[in-house]
Amino acid sequence: MAEKKLLLQMQGIKKSFVGVEVLHGVDLDLYAGEVHAIVGENGAGKSTLMKTLAGVHPPTEGKILIEGKEVQFAHPAQAQAAGVGIVYQEFNLLPDRNVAENVFVGREPLKRGLVDRRKMERDTAALLEEVGETGFTPRTPVRWLSVAQQQVVEIIKARSLNARILVLDEPTAALAEHEVELLFRLVRRLQELGVGILYISHRLREVFQLSDRITVIKDGGVVKTLKTSECDQRTLVSLMVGRDLDAYFPERGRPEDLGDVRLETRNLNTALLRDVSIKVRAGEIVGLAGLQGSGRTELARAIFGADPIDSGEVLIDGKPVKFRHPRQAVKAGIGFITEDRKAEGLALAQSIADNMMLAVRTVMPARKRRAAGVMSNKELAEVTELKARGPEQEVRFLSGGNQQKVVLSKWLKTKPQILIFDEPTRGIDVGAKAGIHDLIRKLARDGVAVLMISSELPELIGMADRILVMHEGKLAGELPAGASEPEIMELATGAHEEVAA
């Protein structure tokens, strides 16, 4: 093959946020026509790295060179102008406009001062042709397109800006099998056109099918860059994870401490889930692992009554229940600490007190609360080690850790028998993390059945008495306490389903 052009060089990239360094000197390069995969577990720093390239936030230190020339991007538009295109997981499309209108939004071609619709559609058709897309046309309303097709629109939008470097961030996270095949063909077409592609994914099967090189990122730094042909999945997984478990975790529960099965699902089917059956006992912490999109949050929401169930059962204390509204779940003694506290867990303009009281208020009137011995706000603040000026302070002024403690307090007030945690320590500093971990274990010891979803493998391994792993909506397997990170990742990435090459 003729000597390939070096499109991109990222040298010594460091990035800090509010004094905390998240990228510690990353080196990366990309050739024209190459697919360079970037792998690493959730939170390793992949997205942050790509955002420095895309001009969303400039690196604190380090250089970016495009075709040998150093560049500095202060705004995404500058990166676009330099030929860097990025397709995020959340699309930036206008659903009520058609494909051509979306591709050319803000820069519609003009003829004699008016929008040249024909040229716009012709150019869009050409772009679709270029990537071999035949399933829709420039005039199709974006709202009608499937997720996979919308992704194609995002890609040709980037191409229309003459992107020579294309970053795809978890492109197959929301795609079905056959759609993934179409994406692969599209990627190959782009390769033929000389576009360099940075492919972020932790779906290792795809990484091996598509990429020429793989860079493994862990904890904000590059572990290794290798040629795809020179490694296999096992090696890759062991490079991605496998750190020392030197963080302190509270002592795990003993088998004799476990009580009855509090929460059970049988063959649960929803839009994403396939025949999921789990059991959680009183006093137990069951960890739920899996990649983004594997169905963990969907399972929690289905149990909690926030999403409809297609078929299957949820049983509380052995009795089947049908929750049509979260309130019924709350009444039945379930608490759900959601993934995104700002969007789903807190009313940010309200006080700490009001947020703490929100759940218990919906199920128990004031008189009953006093009689039932519900914990006071003050007590909860102390138990969770919340640090705030006072109960009337608005929650939006608190740090992430303290906000999470408010959410926790809200659920503790309802004296739940079952608690579901979705990423309980996301975005929280180390000190607060330990506090929350201790609290969770204490709750379990007091008899609560805990289901803990987490993308942080050390946390899962340290805390859980059992680990369930999900993969593409199904339960991939179960591991005992103290399982190793590679074991978990193998189940989570579907490596166990991999047919030997």
Which of the residues 328 through 387 are near other proteins (CB under 8 A)? 329-331, 336, 338, 343-350, 354-355, 357-359, 361-363, 365-366, 377-378, 381-382, 385-387
| Encoded tokens for 489 | 């990742």
d(CA 426, CA 457): 12
1 or 20: CB nearest other proteins:
20
Q: How far is the CB of 136 from other proteins (least distance, A)?
A: 7
Which 77-106 residues touch other proteins, going by CB under 8 A?
77, 92-97, 101, 105-106
Nearer to other proteins, 280 or 432 (CB): 432
Q: How far is the CB of 411 from other proteins (least distance, A)?
A: 9
Output the CA–CA distances (angstroms, integers) from residue 436 to 57, 442, 459, 467, in the order listed.
Answer: 31, 10, 11, 19
Shortest distance, CB of residue 408 to other proteins, whole angstroms?
13
> Per CB under 8 A, which of residues 176..215 are in contact with other proteins?
none
Instruction: Return the SS3 of 366.
Output: helix
Is 500 near other proteins (CB under 8 A)? no
Say whether residue 163 binds other proteins (CB under 8 A): no
Closer residue to other proteins, CB minimum distance, 274 or 415: 415
Q: Give the integer Cα–Cα distance in Å for 412 and 216.
A: 40
Q: Which is nearer to other proteins, 242 or 326 (CB)?
A: 326
Contact (CB, 8 A) for 198 and 210 = no
Residues 24-83 that bind other proteins (CB under 8 A): 76-77
Kindly state the helix (H) or strand (E) to which residue 346 belongs, with its residue range.
none
Nearer to other proteins, 166 or 488 (CB): 166
* 413 is an interface residue for other proteins by CB under 8 A: no
With CB under 8 A as the contact rule, the residue among 35, 44, 155, 388 that binds other proteins is: 388
Q: Which residues of 414-448 are buried (b: 16+ CB within 10 A; e: fewer)?
A: bbbbbbbbbbbbbebeeebbbbbbebbbebbeebb
66 φ/ψ angles, rounded to the nearest 5 degrees: -115, 120
Tell me the Ramachandran region of residue 159: left when phi exceeds 0, alpha when psi lies from -120 to 50, beta otherwise. Answer: alpha
Say how many residues touch other proteins, by CB under 8 A: 81
The CA-based angle 91-95-101, given to 5 degrees, is 95
Query: What type of residue is 85?
Result: G
The nearest distance, CB 53 to other proteins, in angstroms, is 16
> 112-131: which residues touch other proteins (CB under 8 A)?
113-115, 117-118, 121-122, 125-126, 128-129
Q: Which member of 1, 134, 248, 319 binds other proteins (CB under 8 A)?
A: 134
Residue 103 CB, nearest approach to other proteins (Å) = 10
Note whether 147 binds other proteins by CB under 8 A: no
Shortest reach from residue 477's CB to other proteins, in Å: 29
For residue 374, the minimal CB distance to other proteins (Å) is 13
Q: Which of 47, 151, 172, 402 binds other proteins (CB under 8 A)?
A: 402
Q: Is the dihedral of CA 42, 48, 49, 50 positive or negative?
A: positive
In angstroms, the first-to-last Cα distance of the chain is 25
Cβ atoms of 215 and 36 within 8 Å: the answer is: yes
- Does position 423 bind other proteins by CB under 8 A? no
391 binds other proteins (CB under 8 A): yes
Q: In this structure, are residues 280 and 450 in contact, taking their beta carbons and an 8 Å threshold? A: yes
Cβ 416 vs Cβ 448: under 8 Å = yes
Report the Cα 8 to chain-centroid distance in Å: 27
Read off the tokens for 451.
């289901």
State which of residues 390, 446, 478, 496 lies at the interface with other proteins (CB under 8 A).
390
| 308 near other proteins (CB under 8 A) | no
